[in-house]
Amino acid sequence: MITLRYIALALLVCVAALSGCSGEQPAEEAALDNAAPAETGELAPPSPGKKFKAERMANALRGLTYDSGRVEVDEANAEPLPDAEAFDTAAQAHKRGLYYIFEKNDRVAAIGALTRAVIMEPRNPDYLADLGQALLRKGKREEAVAAFNTALDIAPKHLPAQKQMAWALQMGGDYEGARQAWLKVLDLDGADGEAWGRLAVVEYYLEDYAGAWEHVQRAREHGYTMPAQFLPLLEAKMPEPANA
């Protein structure tokens, strides 16, 4: 699954504020969300679509807690609900979760399956990193960061978790945190051209334009092409050094 995990990193998010990200709903959720709103002047109860989605997400998250900044098993709710998808092993749940991410683009189902994998094997950093990825795709950034932190507590040199952590921090606008996280990625793999490129974007937001150009050059040296819309923005702040 390492190959799939690295492919997912390339597709996970777009550069913050430089391009947008999209996410389609499963058909049944979209249909329910289109229900007619209440026409009274009173505060209306949640629509059937919103209620369905909230319950589905709550069930997907059931069995783990994130409040401590780390992923912990919630023993009182760790048993699956009677109508939940059943898995014989953690590996089976993990495989199913990846299927939901890559084949079905159903992030809630992926969270549910990967949650079961982590409940069954809470010390597996691969399962935690992939759960974090599913959470991040669904907009659950704080929970995703908790999952990545837990994976890195267990395996400090886990490159996919470290790289996704950097993405999560950058998406959330924590540019100083993202800078440190991307530097850790480069400590693990100094030839990662994309990491150099993302670090250049972070330096731009931190207003270190000379540093940004330096990292652009390193990205190019390692075969990474910077997003086309980024370089004109950087040029407007500081022309590219002649010796870059």
pLDDT in tens, 125-169: 999 999 999 999 999 999 999 999 999 999 999 999 999 999 999
pLDDT in tens, 189-217: 999 999 999 999 999 999 999 999 999 99
Whether residue 204 contacts residue 234, with contact meaning beta carbons closer than 8 Å, is answered with yes
pTM: 0.80
22 or 65, higher pLDDT: 65
Q: Which phi-psi region, left, alpha or beta, contains residue 144 (left: φ > 0; alpha: ψ -120 to 50)?
A: alpha
Length of the chain: 244
Partners of 65 in the β-ladder: 72
Q: Which alpha helices (H) appear in the chain, and where do they start and end?
A: 2-11, 27-33, 48-61, 90-99, 107-120, 125-137, 141-154, 159-171, 175-188, 193-205, 209-221, 230-237
DSSP notation for 123-187? T-HHHHHHHHHHHHHTT-HHHHHHHHHHHHHH-TT-HHHHHHHHHHHHHTT-HHHHHHHHHHHHH
| Res 242: pLDDT | 81
The tokens for 193 are: 């051209």
Whether residue 185 contacts residue 214, with contact meaning beta carbons closer than 8 Å, is answered with no
**Which of 117, 80, 78 has its CA nearest to residue 96?**
117
- What residues contact 59, with CB distance under 8 A and at least 6 apart? 81, 84, 112
Averaged confidence pLDDT in the chain: 86
Query: 173-244 adopts what CATH topology?
Result: 1.25.40
Burial class (CB in 10 A: 0-12, 13-18, 19+), 172: middle
Is the fold of 49-157 the same as that of 173-244? yes
Mean pLDDT over 102-116 rounds to: 97
244 or 103, higher pLDDT: 103
Q: How does residue 5 score in pLDDT terms, banded at 50, 70 and 90?
A: low
| Res 46: pLDDT | 72
Give the CA dihedral 87, 90, 94, 100, nearest 10 degrees: 20
The tokens for 163 are: 């790289």
| Res 42: pLDDT | 62
Q: How does residue 62 score in pLDDT terms, banded at 50, 70 and 90?
A: very high
Q: Where are the domains of the chain?
A: 49-157, 173-244
Query: 49-157 adopts what CATH topology?
Result: 1.25.40
| Res 49: pLDDT | 82
The tokens for 28 are: 């049944």
